[in-house]
Structure 1
Amino acid sequence: MPASYRNRVAAILGLMGACALGTTQNANAQSSVTLYGIVDGSLLYTSKALDPTTGQNAGHRYAFTDGGLSGSFFGMRGAEDLGGGMRAIFGLESGVSIANGAFGNSNGNLFGREAWVGVASRFGTLKAGLQHSPFFLAVYDVDPRDMSYFGSGLVTYLNNVFVTGLFNPNAISYTSPEIAGLQASALLALGGAAGNFQAGRQYSASLRYHLGSLTMDAALYSGNAGGSAASIPVPSVVEFNGRALGASYVFNDLTVKASYVQYKVAGSFNNRVYSGGASYRITPALNVDAGVWVTRDANDSSNNSVLASTGFAYSLSKATVTYGQVGFVTNHGGMRTGLSVNNALNLPVGTTAGVNVGIRHTF
């Protein structure tokens, strides 16, 4: 085994050991490292499946699915007090498929969900590395089913631009503190192509307003094809412009959300997604939600779809939840909106119904 490889393995094992202890200290500053994650497995049934060769209906499908409410992953967060209200921070997050133990729910690399280092203070937070864009986080914030892996805005997001904007390599971001209810974020991802600054270049920005029970989000995204991110196992360089506007309001145990998201892909479609829905906490242990997502292609009105879903989540403990979800999607023209991020991201023309039941544990 080469010495450099042994050193990398030793560093990773040492860091994971620090996570198990929870905190580490040195003579000059207080620092901490936290290990966290989600393990989520479910059973999925869809009345139709897409044949990738013919584009036609391949028949109904039963599948074990990694991720029903959310993808499985583990991660590490760390912070060191630098004094004067300033902290050095880092984040590493790796997606994993519990169906086969392989990388999953990420860009295909070891820490393919997040890998960044930064500084946080009362003036805001600065990060450098692989991270989520302000555009994606704004869409997440106003999704009526909190980006469930079944029947939510995450399905329409990935169906349009896959992981572009979700996992942004080579990125630098800044998030301001909240001032008078307003908080701004901006991100620039460098393409990494010698002699061509525009190849793979991505930028995004968002503005969030929070006042009592009301939250409003506005965001934009612009990304170019090419660059070093094109060689990642799951590339994130779809050339598109995105716009998002949404709001949520909390009435005690009821939360209502609505949004508009545009995905304009170069040389292809110009999809507008209109969504709305609500969640209601019936008891401290039981929550139900429902949402509708209508997608229309501004370049061709014959391309459209309607996705609707509802679900419940019951807490068996503070860390373990069992859940059930049902939904349907109707596709017309060239639209191929799916029902589930894993195993049913794209579905054929016509109406497809689906059911998903599973269990999720967080740590």
Structure 2
Amino acid sequence: MPASHRNRVGAILGLVGACALGTAQSAHAQSSVTLYGIVDGSILYTSKTLNATTGQNAGHQYSFTDSGLSGSRFGLRGAEDLGGSMRAIFELESGISIANGAFSNSNGNAFGRQAWVGVDSRYGTVKAGLQFSPFFLAVYDFDPREMSYFGSGLITYLNNVYVTGLFNPNGISYTSPEIAGLQGSAMMALGGTAGNFQAGRQYSASLRYHLGTLTVDAALYSGNAGGSAASIAIPSVVEFDGRALGASYVFNNLTVKASYVQYKVAGSFNDRVYSGGASYRITPALNVDAGVWVTRDGNNSSNNSILASAGVDYSLSKATVVYGQAGFVTNHGAMHTGLSVNNALNEVTGTTAGVNIGMRHMF
């Protein structure tokens, strides 16, 4: 091939390559992927410890505890602009333990907290995959201590149904935009068992009303045992019906919250949890909060517990917080409400006190 012809061909191919590269860079500019996470570790003391074998008190404990305030995790979150106010979105989130590096604070799988893909637009958001249920999100929103891993409504949630409704495999959900202060959300999780649609089937819905600094939310959950979720490392197939009603109101730096949550487990208990509390931001860096959770079994009134706790956290920076928490729980009958998600999820009959201090870093 003559040199002049080769030069012309090379110029054309170079131009095509440049255009293709420019197009790829333009498309890439319309999408984003973010790596994020939380690393949280603390020291925990409890005056009593439940012996899981005997059910008796095994004595007090001092322990290093992963996730004293928030669950340690890392994840990837992404979005791509599809045009017309639509975005493709996804999230992959893994729970970890900084105590030993193992999977934790999840359903036991590599991305056992969230693993979903969806579309977001002005008409609402659709997600498909492992995700939180509207019921759990409503309970989370109205917890006075924001579901701390020590002394909060997360303890009573896990005590009742463990991770069912929290990590939902095979889920398909829709969340509407807010219209006149109202926003609805619904989720159906398919059981995945051929020939048996009801095995492992789970559904949940919530309706929220927002007016100024007042928010009111009602939610429900219904789940069946069995299905493919029964084979996950930490199964999420407790058969139960859940109902929740909560409200919050913000007065400048003070936020007040109250809620009622029912966990009706098939063939077992029918727990009603009444909670209330508040948080107050003293300075931009310093925050205090406190809450009380009263649990009563509707099937047997002798089964009841009272959990009370308070916490203070101080921001060393936008990403790093040091914190201290203290609380007690009193159990009667067959109730075994604990103080901490990790290392003290269940406690003995009688009163147990505990203290938790630690540090959390977010990235």
**Counterparts of 2:313 and 2:68 in 1: how far apart (Å)?**
11
Decide whether the 8 Å contact of 1:29 with 1:80 is kept in 2: no
SS of equivalent residue, structure 2 residue 230 = helix
Deviations 1:279-329 (A, max 9, x none): 000011000000000000000000000000000000000000000000000
SS of equivalent residue, structure 1 residue 41 = strand
Deviations 1:244-298 (A, max 9, x none): 0000000000000000000000000000000000000001100000000000000
1:104 aligns with 2:125: no
**Hey, what does 2:52 align to over in structure 1?**
52
**Counterparts of 1:130 and 1:150 in 2: how far apart (Å)?**
25
Larger radius of gyration: 2
Decide whether the 8 Å contact of 1:262 with 1:272 is kept in 2: yes
Q: Which runs of 4+ in 1 moved over 6 A?
A: none
RMSD: 0.9
Deviation at 1:28, TM superposition (A): 7.9
Deviations 1:35-89 (A, max 9, x none): 1010000000000000001111111011100001111000111001000000000
Q: Note closer, same or farther for the CA distance 1:301–1:37 as it changes in structure 2 (3 Å cut).
A: same
**Hey, what does 1:143 align to over in structure 2?**
143
1:39 aligns with 2:39: yes
1:260 aligns with 2:260: yes
**Hey, what does 2:244 align to over in structure 1?**
244
**Hey, what does 1:19 align to over in structure 2?**
none
Deviation at 1:193, TM superposition (A): 0.7
**Hey, what does 1:70 align to over in structure 2?**
70
Deviations 1:192-245 (A, max 9, x none): 111100000000000011111101110000000000000000000000000000
* Letter of the 1:78 counterpart: G
Q: Number of aligned pairs?
A: 340
Q: Note closer, same or farther for the CA distance 1:25–1:111 as it changes in structure 2 (3 Å cut).
A: farther
Deviation at 1:190, TM superposition (A): 0.1
Decide whether the 8 Å contact of 1:25 with 1:31 is kept in 2: no
Deviations 1:100-142 (A, max 9, x none): 0000000000000000000000000000000000000000000
Task: Give TM-score, length-normalised by structure 1.
Answer: 0.93
1:349 aligns with 2:346: no
1:200 aligns with 2:177: no
Decide whether the 8 Å contact of 1:25 with 1:32 is kept in 2: no
SS of equivalent residue, structure 1 residue 229 = helix
**Hey, what does 1:307 align to over in structure 2?**
307
Aligned pairs for 1:128-207 (under 5 A) are 128-207=128-207
**Counterparts of 1:149 and 1:127 in 2: how far apart (Å)?**
27
* Letter of the 1:357 counterpart: I
* Letter of the 1:316 counterpart: L
Q: Note closer, same or farther for the CA distance 1:25–1:207 as it changes in structure 2 (3 Å cut).
A: farther
* Letter of the 1:345 counterpart: L
1:123 aligns with 2:155: no
**Counterparts of 2:337 and 2:43 in 1: how far apart (Å)?**
20
Aligned pairs for 1:266-277 (under 5 A) are 266-277=266-277
**Counterparts of 2:25 and 2:90 in 1: how far apart (Å)?**
16
Deviation at 1:25, TM superposition (A): 4.4
**Counterparts of 2:51 and 2:226 in 1: how far apart (Å)?**
29
1:359 aligns with 2:359: yes
1:84 aligns with 2:84: yes
Deviation at 1:26, TM superposition (A): 4.9
1:227 aligns with 2:217: no
- Where in structure 2 are there 5+ consecutive unaligned residues? 1-23
**Hey, what does 1:280 align to over in structure 2?**
280
Q: Note closer, same or farther for the CA distance 1:25–1:205 as it changes in structure 2 (3 Å cut).
A: farther
Q: Note closer, same or farther for the CA distance 1:350–1:87 as it changes in structure 2 (3 Å cut).
A: same
**Hey, what does 1:216 align to over in structure 2?**
216
Deviation at 1:27, TM superposition (A): 3.9
SS of equivalent residue, structure 2 residue 148 = coil
Decide whether the 8 Å contact of 1:144 with 1:258 is kept in 2: yes
Deviations 1:146-173 (A, max 9, x none): 0000000000000100000000000000
**Hey, what does 1:16 align to over in structure 2?**
none
Q: Note closer, same or farther for the CA distance 1:34–1:334 as it changes in structure 2 (3 Å cut).
A: same
Aligned pairs for 1:6-17 (under 5 A) are none
**Hey, what does 1:335 align to over in structure 2?**
335
- Where in structure 1 are there 5+ consecutive unaligned residues? 1-23
